[in-house]
Structure 1
Amino acid sequence: MDNGPIGVFDSGIGGLTVVDALAKSLPNESILYVGDTARVPYGNKSKVRIQEFTNEITQWLIDQKSKMIVVACNTASSLALDYIKLKFDLPIIGVIEPGIHSAISITKNKQVGVLGTNATIKSDAYGEGLRAANDKISVVSQPCPLFVPLVEEGWVSGDVPTAIATTYLEPIKRSNVDTLILGCTHYPLLKSILRQILGSDVSLVDSGEATAAAVNSVLSKNNIVSNKNTGEIHCYVTDSRDSFEALAGRFVHANISTITHVDIS
């Protein structure tokens, strides 16, 4: 048993979709969440910079006695997960592998689409993972660099995000994709717009729930499950608390105990 918190981080507020899934499936676990809002988005940063940010936040979460780390950022998962796994001696998982497994279990025609940041799409982490699992799968990848700023500003409905999403989704609509991976933890907040554009024939894969299941497995395997009756959620942001606090309720339905500013870099 280990009553230490699960450390979770993302470039901004999007990783709270993973926190929400964790809180629902593992209500006895406490969670420390870092939103690196001072340096969002990660998607247009270099691999070296993303590794640097990821290393700093992971070390900070370990200093706060986190028992495992969840990299709730697709960009960091694709470019820095292996890097920090070599540096730190505790369980660390990302969000890409759970998303891949979900997509493979859902697709019927083996035509899978991936939406992500420029960095995630350029890395081809999803494409490589999908093809490695099943070489008959065809992948259509589409970068959506404006989605993260839209969500961070709360623009998740209306004409502007709909117009942008319509443009981004053209290659997906032209293909025969039946399953679409939302390859960024910000993107689930745009689900209603994506469904409106794509219709009901395309299944949307949000890796939050799959990641929560993977966390549960890691906790059990390492015998670090909490024996507390209820866990707490504590959030830390590297920029102003105000916008984070205003938007957090859209992402997390459980109670957030505290939201605190922290300097990590």
Structure 2
Amino acid sequence: MLVCEPPKPWKRITAGQPPAGGAPSGSTIEQASGTPSEAVIVTGCGVPVKRAATARTRASTPRSLRSRPMDARAVGVFDSGVGGLTVLHECLVTLPHEDFVYLGDHARLPYGPRPLAEVRGFAREIGAFLEAQDVKLIVVACNTATSAALPQLQEELSVPVIGVISPEARAAVQATRNRRVGLLATQGTVDGGRYHDLVRALDAGVELRAVACPRLVPLIESDDPYGEDTESAVREYAAPLKDAGVDTVILGCTHYPLIRPVFQRVFGRDVTLVFSAEETAREVSDTLTRKRIENGAQRTGAYRFLTTGDPTAFREMGRRFLQLPIGDVEHVTLAQLGAAA
């Protein structure tokens, strides 16, 4: 007569080869009904034992308390200068447990007036450089670079790449009530046409009116970003959008959140303003969770800065955009970026 030892407490094991027609020792079989109460465990001597209590215990355990893999790598963020720090700020607030590394390409700013093919080359160099820094995700925190290079970066890099245009386009389509949306952006972003393509893909009935704003970035980076010249420029660029009766405006440059009060004053409360920073931070959070590459929620993240320009100038200007302390800034040469591509 066959005698079996009483089953010992269950633990996760690697199943061995099953006997002919049987199941591996330690494996789980789901019955045809698929209900958890009918799951059984095959013991070491081949005796099936129902696991109703175990199934109920696991089902009642909050998902947040179950063990999850943690990815300690940093998130990479880049822009032509300091404008992308507005995106980084929202990421730091939304994901305080994640580490970030930010690269500002000050040596080649601004990107806005440059040909898209040239900007695409810059973005590919920076993307490859950040990937070599072992980041787990890259945020293209520049509307012009997103417009010029996002598909190429997503094809060439092994890590997820997020731009700032798609989150804004989606938010604008959801926000508009009369299906008339305005876009204020750099010349390069307007010429790229990605906002038109994305908005049309989301809702072909939405009319998008785009206006290039070449004066805004220099004014925002000046010593008096809230002066009369800035308000006058905003009113000039806003006029055709107000005449078109838009009820939602995409502020399609990462510099623009810094003068949010000026835009709110010019457009009034009846017009919804969509900023890339907030929408992109949500997209980063969702992507990390969906791909299960987030860091532990109980830790405090860190951030560091790289620039191709003058580290001192980056630090002084960057504090205004980040609105958080900026410590040491590392210098990266254009040769280093080129070598990584």
1:244 has 2:244 as partner: no
1:53 aligns with 2:122: yes
Distance 1:140 1:30 in 2: 37
Q: 1:261 — aligned with what?
A: 331
Aligned to 1:84: 153
Gapped runs of 5+ residues in structure 2? Answer: 1-69, 336-341
TM-superposed deviation, 1:257: 4.3
Aligned to 1:119: 188
Distance 2:331 2:220 in 1: 20
Match of 1:232 among 302, 305, 311: 302
Aligned twin of 2:226: 157
3-state SS, counterpart of residue 32 of structure 1: strand
SS of 1:7's equivalent in the other structure is strand
Query: What does 1:193-208 correspond to in 2, within 5 Å?
Result: 193-208=262-277
What SS does the aligned partner of 2:83 have?
coil
The letter for the 1-side match of 2:159 is L
* Cα distance, 1:253 vs structure 2: 3.4
Contact 2:116–2:192 at 8 Å: present in 1 too?
no
What letter matches 1:187 in structure 2? Y
For residues 144 and 185 of structure 1, do their structure 2 counterparts lie closer, same or farther at Cα, with a shift above 3 Å needed?
same
Relative to the length of structure 2, the TM-score reads 0.75
Deviations 1:168-225 (A, max 9, x none): 2221121111110011111111211112222221111012111111111211122211
Residue type at the aligned position of 1:133: L
- The code of the aligned residue for 2:149 comes to A
Q: 1:151 to 1:255 in 2, by over 3 A?
A: same
Residue 39 in structure 1 maps to residue 108 in structure 2:
yes
Alignment size in residue pairs:
265
DSSP-derived class of the 1:22 partner: helix
1:2-31 CA distance string (max 9 Å, x none): 111100001111101110110001001011
Using CA pairs below 8 Å that are at least 6 residues apart, which structure has the higher relative contact order?
1
Does structure 1 residue 8 correspond to structure 2 residue 77?
yes
* Aligned residues with identical type, % of pairs: 38
Establish whether residue 70 from structure 1 lines up as the match of residue 147 from structure 2. no
CA contact (8 A) 1:30 1:232 kept: yes
Alpha carbons of 1:109 and 1:154: their partners in 2 closer, same or farther (altered >3 Å)?
Answer: farther
Aligned: 1:19 with 2:91: no
Question: What amino acid maps onto 1:216 in structure 2?
Answer: S
Report if aligned partners of 2:106, 2:307 keep a CA contact under 8 Å in 1. yes
Give a deviation string over 1:11-65, Cα, whole Å, max 9, x none.
1111011101100010010110011111111111112211110011111111211
Which stretch of the first structure deviates more once superposed, 43-52 or 113-122?
A: 43-52
Which segment is superposed worse, 137-146 or 246-255? 246-255
Say which one has the larger Rg: 2
Q: Distance in 1 between matches of 2:275 and 2:264?
A: 13
Superposed CA RMSD: 1.4
How far apart in 2 are the matches of 1:23 and 1:248?
A: 15
Higher alpha-carbon deviation: 87-96 or 226-235:
226-235
- Structure 1 CA distance for aligned equivalents of residues 242 and 223 of structure 2: 26
Q: What is the alpha-carbon distance in structure 2 between the residues aligned to residue 155 and residue 58 of structure 1?
A: 33
Which residue identity is paired with 1:139? L
Deviation per CA, 1:235-261: give whole Å up to 9, x if none: 111111233222222222344343222
Q: CA deviation at 1:154?
A: 4.3
Retained in 2: the 8 A contact 1:23–1:254?
A: no
Maintained 8 Å contact 2:180/2:206: yes
Q: Secondary structure at the match of 1:204?
A: strand
In the alignment, residue 198 of structure 1 is paired with which amino acid? F
Tell me, what secondary structure is at the counterpart of 1:169? helix
Letter of the 2:310 counterpart:
S
Write the distance in 1 (CA, Å) between the matches of 2:229 and 2:314.
21
